[in-house]
Structure 1
């Protein structure tokens, strides 16, 4: 049985070193070197090669090298072939760091101070206690719950929304379309951590942004196709939204003349909120291979119905 890695080759070299140390019995190949195609049982990829199921007729598991699978066309993956996403500890830790940084930056008016520095302006803004700031998270999966856990320590008033009902200590939980709007109306800083599905595409539109209180802020670390760029610009220019931290866009990278680059109320980063860490990712992959061979449930198995 062999393993093929098709993603960033620099990280692939780290995966190869870790496989050699932890699972030397599994031949490891970095695309386009695939070895003997009929021996390949496991494929890890950011994007799937066209016709991979014919190229690798004996493949048993497909891994996404990221925490999501929206970059896959699941309709082209045989229904019986398990697809696993890598919501591994390194990805989770990175997202917790970034989301916490972003929420605190907006809470303490960092975009305004950055713009004042550019202007040579010395002016203090009122400091509000975290206990009076309402932070809402869209998406209560592994990433959302980890971010909420971290933010809880600062004393923020926390809320979380998801498609299905959750219970989480210290967090007011909302579920379903009917409860979304009530949560938005009571949110000062909104963090989008939703997976990209047909239901969440373009969810951050004018209607949603206008459902937030005047002066609210946005942290967007979900997927680029969820955000209506013009709606955010209009909301910022009108003062309805005070500031935003944006890590994901569509397209990536943005065109050179896009207003996000220069808007004084936007902090823009190039899709770096979180990245799969080879050490923890390989451990999770090897554990899932073990589980698969033992007939046990897989960690991170994708539901075809949900799309994540």
Structure 2
């Protein structure tokens, strides 16, 4: 008997992702009916986005797992009706996009591209930038995305140091943990990349105190979560020159309000949450693999720890 897979990601996402998921399920040899309408007691798996109208999971008592289409799960982990296993999305296509954004903007600031593309007075500025080996990058968050970005920057010869809240050792990378480790990672950093999840413990990781630990003129790149940064502290640091530039892809309110000071600040670059998006084709393969694993009795990929929140 075919499985029933409920696609509960909202109408637009259902249309965008549905055909790819159906193709991936068929390619994996999984007999399944993919639908956006089903009697709750018949549903075996739920493919989900937090913006979905589905917010009460109580009727889906037979569902074996909820498979989130996004990497972020902070909008669903606190749902008291969710008792099914929850898996977040770790999408190879999303990871590639994140690496390209982080490396691209790090190189932009490292080489000083803005100095040469914005020169209305036609000044011949012959100052050469340092080499990558003379620049320190602090990678805050060394999960799947952070580690991959860290290794890509290290391959370009940057001095990369990673930080995580709990103990984590990654071969070939310098890593720090805890509050003391955060200060060590940020001290002397030329570039700070924030790729932490949003949890009560990570909110405002970048604040007036931690900004003070960075090298004067450091650049902050935030493609992680808007709440990781204290906006007022960042604006003050930009105005004082403690932070030389901030390139921001995520914000506390999205779309970023038209009157937000980030838009007009000369030392801020705003990108509209494009650093890493779930790709329909590659994410569909992850969904199909997790359903295959569930049916084979194998451990699910990217299972969320409800206590940690990711």
- Please say whether Structure 1 and Structure 2 have the same fold, judged by a TM-score greater than 0.5: yes
* C-alpha distance in structure 2 between counterparts of 1:109 and 1:244, whole Å: 14
* C-alpha distance in structure 2 between counterparts of 1:78 and 1:72, whole Å: 8
* C-alpha distance in structure 1 between counterparts of 2:222 and 2:107, whole Å: 14
Partner of 1:76: 80
Which of residues 219, 244, 247 is equivalent to 1:245? Answer: 247
Deviations 1:7-55 (A, max 9, x none): 364453343223333435311124xxx1333222211222154553234
Partner of 1:190: 192
Deviations 1:112-131 (A, max 9, x none): 445x34x4453524311111
Of 9-18 and 189-198, more deviation after overlay is shown by: 9-18
- Please tell me whether residue 105 in structure 1 is matched to residue 122 in structure 2: no
Question: What is the SS of the residue equivalent to 2:276?
Answer: coil
Tell me, yes or no, if the aligned pair for 2:47 and 2:69 is still in contact at 8 Å.
Answer: yes
Question: What is the SS of the residue equivalent to 1:291?
Answer: helix
* C-alpha distance in structure 2 between counterparts of 1:154 and 1:226, whole Å: 27
- Please tell me whether residue 67 in structure 1 is matched to residue 67 in structure 2: no
Question: What is the SS of the residue equivalent to 1:160?
Answer: strand
Deviation of the 1:169 alpha carbon: 3.9
Question: What is the SS of the residue equivalent to 2:193?
Answer: strand
* C-alpha distance in structure 2 between counterparts of 1:307 and 1:41, whole Å: 24
Which of residues 203, 218, 221 is equivalent to 1:219? Answer: 221
TM-score scaled by length of structure 2: 0.91
Partner of 1:150: 152
Tell me, yes or no, if the aligned pair for 1:11 and 1:278 is still in contact at 8 Å.
Answer: no
* C-alpha distance in structure 1 between counterparts of 2:21 and 2:162, whole Å: 38
Tell me, yes or no, if the aligned pair for 1:206 and 1:231 is still in contact at 8 Å.
Answer: yes
Deviations 1:190-233 (A, max 9, x none): 00000011100121111111111111110011111111111111
- Cα 1:52–1:152 change in 2 (3 A) is same
Query: How many matched pairs?
Result: 302
Which of residues 3, 6, 11 is equivalent to 2:5? Answer: 3
- Cα 1:257–1:286 change in 2 (3 A) is same
Deviations 1:38-79 (A, max 9, x none): 222211222154553234332221112111211214342444
* C-alpha distance in structure 2 between counterparts of 1:263 and 1:179, whole Å: 31
What pairs with 1:210-289 in structure 2 (closer than 5 Å)?
A: 210-289=212-291
Partner of 2:170: 168
* C-alpha distance in structure 1 between counterparts of 2:124 and 2:215, whole Å: 25
Unaligned runs of 5+ in 2: none
Tell me, yes or no, if the aligned pair for 2:21 and 2:287 is still in contact at 8 Å.
Answer: no
What pairs with 1:284-303 in structure 2 (closer than 5 Å)?
A: 284-303=286-305
Question: What is the SS of the residue equivalent to 2:153?
Answer: helix
Question: What is the SS of the residue equivalent to 1:76?
Answer: coil
- Please tell me whether residue 26 in structure 1 is matched to residue 26 in structure 2: no
Of 38-47 and 69-78, more deviation after overlay is shown by: 69-78
